[in-house]
Structure 1
């Protein structure tokens, strides 16, 4: 463990682990607060893409500091073999993946979660950053229940070039949630995050993803077809307003797909998932 880390924090129980590292709860004797410590083993980063992600994530988190729905990076410690990121502590097992695995959520609950998630996404986009890997696993909740968007390892900067484009490239993301234009291997813009957030909303309301297959390849093929359906058995009690928003978020035509700001202005989000007539809110 890095000596400077040991001098400021006490590492406690393990909260989780991934391909390159482990997340621990850590305690600061200086202020009596607990945090999360994400410890990354740099010796496992064998290719340039992984190393780029390692360098990029702390820079992006510093740039996004201050938004209440984005995980906050407090400190960084590094030595030859490890990188330690001190962030907000979110209780183990309280993420959106765990919540939706129990079944569909009531519309007001789903609307509140979507509002916080898209607020974070909108802030990212205004700062010129696309997350590019939105999924329930990366949507955490702190001890007060406030949403915290995490894991910016696949995030990318975008901006206007000399031709006025805001494009990115590279196939990144997770099968169920990735936008079709990413899979086509073409340039794309920040609206890939809106597609992914729409898929998350679909799962929150129905308990299943809109596009899936027996294998990742079959899932990708379903995403590319993009035939959005609302099976009556799953959507019988879902309001027309929620379905309207889903159509505008999970839209193959990127020019017609909502931006994050448009999602936040949709009547269903404004009403907090209350099933009032959209005409009453416009």
Structure 2
């Protein structure tokens, strides 16, 4: 543990655990506020790519802060053994927890999606692609505000076309061009956000299988369906947005900025006709 961290913060109870370390609640006597502290054990980082991703996480969060819908970073401490990131403390509730309770109504889903798209548009303006947008990485604060977190898989968009590469992400939410091993751009995040929206409204993801390979096959087919028994009460406007976000043709897929201007988002999820 870094001595400078101990000098400035009091570590409290553990509130989360990952492959490389723990997340604890911590208290700052100087500000009289609580924060979250992610402590990464460097001895567990045997893969150079893992080490690079976790180093980049702090850089990306610093670059993108402050934004009302991105988890804010406050301090970074590092020594030979540990990397510690002090960040905004969100409630231990994610969008995944909300979805598990019940499918989410359109007005609430539109509010969540507007905030998530705002966070992604902010990332993309800075040339950053998140690459692991999923309900588990969308935190909800005590007021129900969306906070996009976990930038461990994020990357820079490089070159004139603004692209990167690498098979990164979570099978249910990953875009087809990622699975195919091609270079790809910021719109992989929009695909993933579209899958999040579908899952909010339906309670299940649009593409699934028994194994990761089967899920990837379903993603590559990109056969987007709206089963009547599940989508009977979902508006045409919501389905229209889903088709334009979960679109296999990248050139026709909306950007985050374009999705923010879609009538369903602008109307707050009100069930209006698309005619």
Is the contact made by 1:100 and 1:203 (CA closer than 8 Å) also made in structure 2? yes
User: What are the residue-to-residue correspondences of 1:117-196 with 2, within 5 Å?
Assistant: 117-159=116-158, 161=159, 164-196=160-192
Unaligned stretches of 5+ residues in structure 2: none
Q: 1:240 aligns with which of 220, 236, 255?
A: 236
Give the aligned partner of residue 106 of structure 1.
105
Q: What value does the CA root-mean-square deviation take over the aligned residues?
A: 0.9
**Distance in 1 between residues matched to 2:231 and 2:42, nearest whole Å:** 46
Question: Does the residue aligned with 1:219 lie in a helix, a strand or coil?
Answer: helix
User: What are the residue-to-residue correspondences of 1:25-104 with 2, within 5 Å?
Assistant: 25-92=25-92, 94-104=93-103
**Distance in 2 between residues matched to 1:31 and 1:69, nearest whole Å:** 22
**Distance in 2 between residues matched to 1:88 and 1:21, nearest whole Å:** 17
Give the aligned partner of residue 205 of structure 1.
201
User: What are the residue-to-residue correspondences of 1:242-261 with 2, within 5 Å?
Assistant: 242-261=238-257
| Range moving further from structure 2, 238-247 or 150-159 | 150-159
**Distance in 2 between residues matched to 1:143 and 1:246, nearest whole Å:** 28
**Distance in 2 between residues matched to 1:15 and 1:72, nearest whole Å:** 17
**Distance in 2 between residues matched to 1:222 and 1:23, nearest whole Å:** 34
Aligned residues, how many? 275
Scaled by the length of structure 1, what TM-score is found?
0.96
Give the aligned partner of residue 7 of structure 2.
7
Runs (4 or more) in structure 1 with deviation over 3 Å come to none
| Range moving further from structure 2, 268-277 or 246-255 | 268-277
**Distance in 1 between residues matched to 2:72 and 2:16, nearest whole Å:** 18
**Distance in 2 between residues matched to 1:145 and 1:105, nearest whole Å:** 13
Question: Does the residue aligned with 2:238 lie in a helix, a strand or coil?
Answer: helix
Q: 1:264 aligns with which of 260, 266, 269?
A: 260
**Distance in 1 between residues matched to 2:141 and 2:97, nearest whole Å:** 14
**Distance in 1 between residues matched to 2:142 and 2:99, nearest whole Å:** 18
**Distance in 1 between residues matched to 2:62 and 2:2, nearest whole Å:** 21
Scaled by the length of structure 2, what TM-score is found?
0.98
Question: Does the residue aligned with 2:101 lie in a helix, a strand or coil?
Answer: coil
**Distance in 2 between residues matched to 1:276 and 1:225, nearest whole Å:** 30
Is the contact made by 1:181 and 1:188 (CA closer than 8 Å) also made in structure 2? yes
